Amino acid sequence: MTALAIMQPYFFPYAGYFRLFAAADLFVIYDCVQFPRRGWVHRNRLPDANGAPAWLNLPLEKAPRATAIKDLNFPADAAARFAAQMRRFPVLSSDQPVMRNLTDFSGVSPVDYLERGLADVCAALGLTCEISRSSRLGISPDIHGQERILAIAEALGADRYVNAPGGGELYQRQTFSERGIDLQILEPYRGSNWSMLHRLLSEPAEQLAVEIRQQT
């Protein structure tokens, strides 16, 4: 059996997101869809010097509203702008492995950077799920919603599709079953919503890995 998960690439998301990596054999970065400007692709909250949640944002070039995630770009001064933000967050003074690529914007697009960040967290947690991108599969842009998810699953030969809790309202189990794919919806996550960037810098990775696997 091949278990598949598909999700937009979030910027160091919370632990619950990584249950998709723990449950699947293949994780597809959903980068062929419109960039959600108020979402979690380019930003996350970390505790500032006072312990209050504050945004850490990836600097992005201005782009039309309809721009797909895969077509985003960094400005030339992305590294400097990002470094200036980092001073607000004491936890980012750490030299732990997850920090190694955090400030490296050279020669990468935002989706490259986000994929690398997800892979770095997976490595820290001991998750070995393969990562791919929807934009590389040649799926017709005229296919949307549930049908696009099914097309991706069929293109990759998946027979189980794992989705975050909200998927129960988006997808029809019978439709998946008729296409030979078992639909698995994860239960709501019971745990901290802090970014994994913060948690990996302040908690043991082994403990976090156990927490994630126990809720998968």
Share of the chain above pLDDT 70, in %: 100
Write down the pLDDT at residue 182.
Answer: 97
Tell me the per-residue pLDDT of 54-90, one tens digit each, with 9 for 90 and over.
999 999 999 999 999 999 999 999 999 999 999 999 9
Q: Cβ distance 175 to 68 under 8 Å?
A: no
37 Cβ neighbours under 8 A, 6+ residues apart:
65
Share of the chain above pLDDT 90, in %: 94
Write down the pLDDT at residue 167.
Answer: 80
Domain limits of the chain? 3-214
pLDDT band at 169; cut points 50, 70, 90: confident
Q: How large is the angle between the packed helices 110-125 and 205-214, nearest 10 degrees?
A: 90
Write down the pLDDT at residue 193.
Answer: 96
What's the pTM value of the predicted model, to 2 decimals? 0.96
Write down the pLDDT at residue 116.
Answer: 98
- Cα Rg for the chain, rounded, in angstroms? 17
Q: Cβ distance 14 to 211 under 8 Å?
A: no
Average pLDDT for 125-153? 96
pLDDT at 160 over 80: yes
